[in-house]
Structure 1
Amino acid sequence: MEESSKTEIEDEKSEQVVWSWGAGTEGQLGTKIVEDEVFPQLLHQPSLSSISSLACGGAHVIALTSAGKVLSWGRGNSGQLGHGEVLSNALFPKAVTSLDGYFITHVAAGWSHSGFVSDTGCVFTCGDGTFGQLGHGDYASHCSPVKLSCFVDQRAVQVACGMRHSLVLMKDCVGNQVYGFGSGKRGQLGVSNDKVKAVNVPRVVSGFEGIEIFGIAANGDHSAAVSVDGHVYTWGRGFKGFEDAYVPHCLSSSLKFIKVALGWNHALAMTGEGEVYILGGNHLGVLSDFQNMSPRSRHIPDLREVNLEKVPGLDGMKISDIAAGAEHSVIVTDNTEIRTWGWGEHGQLGLGDTCDQISPVTVSLGYDLNEVESIKVFCGSGFTFAVTMP
């Protein structure tokens, strides 16, 4: 690493340091350069020095600062950046000024739409609304965040955006509820045992009566939730040969989970003890001995019996964070080591090449992480972000 880069990193150690890599042709890496990056790139953006969270979508990124402000960049053709009438791509972070009057506490990014939650529990959406995924009672698209007016006496705490659907976690005086809206053809809305093509206003997800949910996730045609007692629920497109689930199903496990991350064909789930398990099929981004076997020796298992499997190669390690892209996975160990595997065509694994990996490989950020307290990771469809905390 050049001496000037080392000095910049030392100067920034008192603040968040942001890195990006992978697909970048839409400006989603925030580097101001429209190309893929196979190595982690340090973002020299003063506006990102106080970010508290990121959300990565199909080819755009939403950043939330500790002061409740929102920035966005990347692909903007559907209004998903929330920059008003400007529908062009943004190659570096720009403020979503229409939300300046609110303190935003949570953000989400789908394929071509975005969601925001304020500290007062209001929900805002923008971007592509073709499938009703903005929740405004129509199929219109919006280039600036628009407040959902359908919730009364309820307070939103989280929003999640999938390929063409959205989820909202609401709190009220008697508990919480999850709502779904948008495309529902694979069951990802979870609102009915019957197939629902699309819903353009939020409807209550079935099956959570008496269950306290504290986290929700969406990606592709999948949805998931984690309960306070550590159970993971999934619905939508079936994993690894399973049929589509039109209402939430609890994963069969005695483990207690604290976070779930969804890809297009797989899911990661992390326990409170720092163990990581994977659910999914024999796709890129999913570990499986099945991939390494010769065609003649393969025995096709009864896929209905396949469930959560522990990610191999991590014995003795405690994992502090997880993230999943379309078909790649990222984990962070408690000693701030980043490991990636899966689809690597755009360099999203950060290993210096475009090869796929079927087991976790360590990513080098180019400097000593001993003084870094923690790292959070975030994945878009074919790109990755890492945020270090002093």
Structure 2
Amino acid sequence: MHNFGLLGHGNDTAHWIPKKVCGPLEGLHISSVSCGPSHTAVVTSAGQLFTFGDGVFGALGHGDRQSTNVAREVSSLRGLRTVLAACGAWHTVAIVEVVDSLNSATSCKLFTWGDGNKGQLGHADRETRLIPAYVESLRKLSFCQVACGYDFTAALSTSGQVYTMGSNAFGQLGNPTIDGKLPTVVKGSISSSCVEEIACGSHHVALLTSKARVYTWGKGANGRLGHGNNFDRNTPTPVEALKDKQVKSVACGTDFTAVICFHRCTSGLDQSLCSGCRLQFSFIRKRHNCYNCGLVYCKACSMRKSTKASLAPNSNKPYRVCDECCTKLNTAGDAKKLQNSKPLDGNPHPLSSEATDRENTVKSLRVRISRFLTMESFKPEDSACAYPSNKNMTEEVARLQSQVKELTRKSELLEAELDRTNNQLREARTTAAEENLKCKAAKEVISSLTTQIRSITERTPEECPVNDTWTSQVSKLLGSHFCENHLNDVSRAPASSAHLAHQSPCKENSIVADVEWTEQVEHGVYITIFRSPAGHKYLRRVRFSKR
């Protein structure tokens, strides 16, 4: 468009490719640009505001109604820092930093100028302003964002509240009871929400909250509000189709709305549960995709079909959709029939074919690609495989029940075997503890026996005759019943088995030859016995050996 110098090149020539805007903007760093149907506003990083285009209604803010085809700075705001500007059809709004004279604090105030026929300037009248005028009713507030529709204005305060003013013909002010002459805060479903971003179309508003929820209201023709129909909304209404999305930004065109979402891969949990009944998929409960929203559903939640599904590969064939999408599609179809039979929005003529085609195009673009697994999941399935008969399902249930019984029986057997093994383990531990106690007692007995034997072997041989008393004492010390038998067998041992140990005197002036030999009493216990010439047997020593 080049009428009235909308391009800012100093002439009315049209340009089909981008061309740099020179003139007063040459060499300046631009921070933001806003375009209306008839004029343009440019804000520099230094806070200067330039406007150009049609100035018939004073929307350029130069104090006259002259149009200009080159950018001109708004002189009344010179010396102040302009943060942001927005253009309506015939009016302009700017956020300007103002220093409070009392406390020297800086706050962002709202200035408006241009056509005020619908109250879009917020000055409680319908007068036209040729230069920027401070909105006195909002003097206690500070603003961070502003947007303009065709004949209304929406501003976002730093506290997260939205204020609207101007025409309320389609409910675009968010409150059906106000006349729009003064700015009014938008309440309703967003009264407890903190708004982060706002955008305006020609006759509708969209906003984004801090919780990434999108709300829209105003004129609903062409489906611009995103609620699945063409109905107008006069209060903020959440867009349910975006409730599971992480929305980053929102923007509006004349009769459409667009959002930017963070990319999010589909989680495994989303694909393992039915989006309707939230039951888990199994061999019997098969997974099906809705050809309109792309979510996964079980058969019970997606039994209905529609020829209006947005993801259907063939528009002449009905495809599976979920119950919610089926209701929306049917409602949209009924609304379309009503539009064809009655004039829309007071227009005496029905919708043109071009508008109808544009509406269908917008609907087809509402595709939720991020929720898809692959396009293979949307291929038609063989009905014989996808829908087993009741007989096959009964057989499958019976087979699964038999498997459950068999597994239960095996589990009981394993539990019994485990109990038996635990009992054996407890018995083994008890036996080991008893054997350990016996071993300790035996060690104590052996230690005591060793001490007593050593004291006995220190005595002289004459003091150690082998008799019945000694035999009983040794038997008691050794704890063996066969010690006495060994000592008795000593007397019957042949002389050839004995060996001469040594000779020692037993009496004065006489030499006696002693005969001694060694016998094994127990395993590892050896005793040495000698016999005197008089025929008496004596115990010489006791020896312990590991061999």
Fold conserved between structures, TM > 0.5: yes
Residue by residue over 1:114-143, the C-alpha shift from the partner in whole angstroms, topping out at 9 and shown as x without a partner, is 000123221000111000000000000111
Query: Which aligned pairs between 1:1-390 and structure 2 lie closer than 5 A?
Result: 23-45=1-23, 47=25, 49-85=28-64, 87-119=65-97, 120-171=107-158, 175-192=159-176, 198-207=179-188, 208-238=190-220, 239-240=222-223, 241-252=229-240, 253=242, 254-273=244-263, 301-302=329-330, 304=332, 309-310=366-367
Aligned length: 271
Change in Cα spacing, 1:218 to 1:56, as seen in structure 2 (3 Å) is: same
Structure 1 equivalent of residue 442 of structure 2: none
Residue by residue over 1:296-349, the C-alpha shift from the partner in whole angstroms, topping out at 9 and shown as x without a partner, is 89999446496982498xxxxxxxxxxxxxxxxxxxxxxxxxxxxxxxxxxxxx
Paired residues of 2:201 and 2:255 also in contact (CA < 8 A): no
Shift >4 Å, 4+ stretches: 293-301, 303-308
Amino acid at match of 1:108: A
Amino acid at match of 1:136: H
Distance in 1 separating the partners of 2:51 and 2:264: 31
Change in Cα spacing, 1:47 to 1:311, as seen in structure 2 (3 Å) is: farther
Amino acid at match of 2:165: F
Residue by residue over 1:12-71, the C-alpha shift from the partner in whole angstroms, topping out at 9 and shown as x without a partner, is xxxxxxxxxxx1112111122213322222223352531100010112110000011100
* Bigger-Rg structure (1/2): 2
Amino acid at match of 1:249: T
Paired residues of 1:125 and 1:134 also in contact (CA < 8 A): yes
Distance in 1 separating the partners of 2:77 and 2:89: 21
Distance in 2 separating the partners of 1:289 and 1:109: 38
TM normalised by structure 2 equals: 0.46
SS in 2 for 1:40: coil
Change in Cα spacing, 1:307 to 1:169, as seen in structure 2 (3 Å) is: farther
Paired residues of 1:57 and 1:111 also in contact (CA < 8 A): yes
Distance in 1 separating the partners of 2:174 and 2:3: 34
Structure 2 equivalent of residue 9 of structure 1: none
Structure 2 equivalent of residue 283 of structure 1: none
Distance in 2 separating the partners of 1:232 and 1:190: 14
Paired residues of 1:223 and 1:236 also in contact (CA < 8 A): yes
- Which of 1 and 2 has higher RCO (CA within 8 Å, sep 6+)? 1
State the shift of 1:74 in Å.
0.9
Residue by residue over 1:175-229, the C-alpha shift from the partner in whole angstroms, topping out at 9 and shown as x without a partner, is 321111000010100023x5x5x41100111222221111111121011111122
Distance in 2 separating the partners of 1:127 and 1:95: 16
Distance in 1 separating the partners of 2:174 and 2:214: 14
Give the share of equivalent positions with the same residue, in percent: 28
Deviates more, 1:142-151 or 1:296-305: 296-305
Amino acid at match of 2:260: M
Distance in 2 separating the partners of 1:298 and 1:90: 56
Paired residues of 2:96 and 2:110 also in contact (CA < 8 A): yes
Paired residues of 1:110 and 1:219 also in contact (CA < 8 A): no
State the shift of 1:260 in Å.
1.5
Distance in 2 separating the partners of 1:235 and 1:134: 21
TM normalised by structure 1 equals: 0.63
State the shift of 1:273 in Å.
4.2
Of Structure 1 and Structure 2, the greater helix share is in 2
Gaps of 5+ in 2: 98-106, 224-228, 266-307, 320-327, 334-362, 370-547
Paired residues of 2:113 and 2:130 also in contact (CA < 8 A): yes
Paired residues of 1:242 and 1:303 also in contact (CA < 8 A): no
Change in Cα spacing, 1:311 to 1:126, as seen in structure 2 (3 Å) is: farther
State the shift of 1:295 in Å.
10
Change in Cα spacing, 1:202 to 1:32, as seen in structure 2 (3 Å) is: same
Paired residues of 1:158 and 1:168 also in contact (CA < 8 A): yes
Distance in 2 separating the partners of 1:105 and 1:115: 11
Paired residues of 2:122 and 2:165 also in contact (CA < 8 A): yes
Deviates more, 1:238-247 or 1:300-309: 300-309
Let me know the Cα RMSD of the aligned residues.
Answer: 3.1
Change in Cα spacing, 1:249 to 1:307, as seen in structure 2 (3 Å) is: farther
Deviates more, 1:240-249 or 1:72-81: 240-249
SS in 2 for 1:26: helix
Amino acid at match of 1:257: V
SS in 1 for 2:181: strand
